[in-house]
Amino acid sequence: MAIVDWDRDAVKNGLADGSVLLIDVREPNEFAAGHIPGSVSFPLSDFDVERLQALIAADGRRPVLSCAAGVRSARALQYLQGQGIPLTEHYAGGFKDWANAGETVE
């Protein structure tokens, strides 16, 4: 299964129209220091596949993973795919791309 890279515009559009559940896999201290508005924290260090599946099922939006720069979110996708979870999409630039572009940060 492939990994699909999303860019900032795709993430912005998905958040704006309410179609995307942006799942931030950075650590809690990183998320607390600043995150993309509308994203939810789901740290890679405490990654629970069943809890993630429940979050996605309960939310109903298209799940897209995010991290600081795209490395951890890609790793998380590889892990999930290895567990039989068919998630493929992540924000390749991550929080650093978002913040460096001057986008709003919470």
H-helix or E-strand containing 75?
A: helix 71-82
In this prediction, residue 29 has a pLDDT band, given cuts at 50, 70 and 90, of very high
Cα dihedral 33, 104, 5, 81 sign: positive
Token look-up 């069943």 returns 50
67 belongs to the catalytic site? yes
pLDDT at residue 34 is higher than 80 = yes
The pLDDT value given to residue 8: 98
Rounded to an integer, the average pLDDT of 34-56 is 95
> Given 23, 25, 67, 68, which residue is catalytic?
67
In this prediction, residue 54 has a pLDDT band, given cuts at 50, 70 and 90, of very high
Q: Which tens digit of pLDDT belongs to each residue from 41-51?
A: 999 999 899 99
In this prediction, residue 5 has a pLDDT band, given cuts at 50, 70 and 90, of very high
